[in-house]
Amino acid sequence: MTRFALTLEFDGTPFFGLQRQATGPSVQQAVEEAAQAVTGEQATLHAAGRTDTGVHALAMRAHIDIEKPIEPFRLMEALNAHLRPDPIAVIACESVADDWHARFSCIGRAYEYRICNRRAPLTLERGRAWQLAPPLDAEAMHRAAQSLVGLHDFTTFRSVQCQSPSPVKTLDRLDVRREGDHVIVEAAARSFLHHQVRSMVGCLALVGMGRWHEEQVAEALAARDRQALGLNAPPQGLYFVRATYPDAD
């Protein structure tokens, strides 16, 4: 038995999230079916994080155990061949120690949220960014975001369907910057609550549009009440960008 670490890139638009779902197609199902076609084995994919319907990934780390002798490069090539035409690609594959776990060995996760701040309709980024026409003050959004950095009870920014045993998380970084017509929000933490990033982005967007003053983000956090949430950003602008492990790979 060999454990293979995979790095996955995917467009989440046609999927009901990463984790296997009874209600529709998932990234996990697609990769597991590809692995079975390659090896004849029923293997389970374990990922560093979960993604909702419509959320994308630039470098989602995952692992799968395979009994059949196969080299990492050949496995990667074979998986990619069987994944077509699904918008999923295995962009890296390597054998790892049996005790390495994509989820439980992970010590950090990073997300990026992309807002296209223009009036013209989206073409190339349709389904891959949140379009907001009103001009956004990215500097005000960044200042407001700093009140969320650190150890807090994030109940306000937590989905009612969240299964985490505690709403307390440590947010390591939450940065906002403008790049032309785009406003980019970057978030990093050891782990996140369900909808936490989208909920934080939604409130920061209200600040950027001038509908909230900067201090209201801190007030919403302190309320520890989902009813205090101003706005939950849609999923299509969210990307899982990085998983960090102790070996700093």
Q: Which helix (H) or strand (E) holds 172?
A: strand 168-179
Catalytic residues: 52
Phi and psi torsions of 77, nearest 5° = -60, -40
Phi and psi torsions of 143, nearest 5° = -60, -45
SS3 of 184-212: the string is EEEEEECCCCCCHHHHHHHHHHHHHCCCC
Closest-CA residue to 212 (of 226, 200, 225): 200
3-state secondary structure of 235: helix
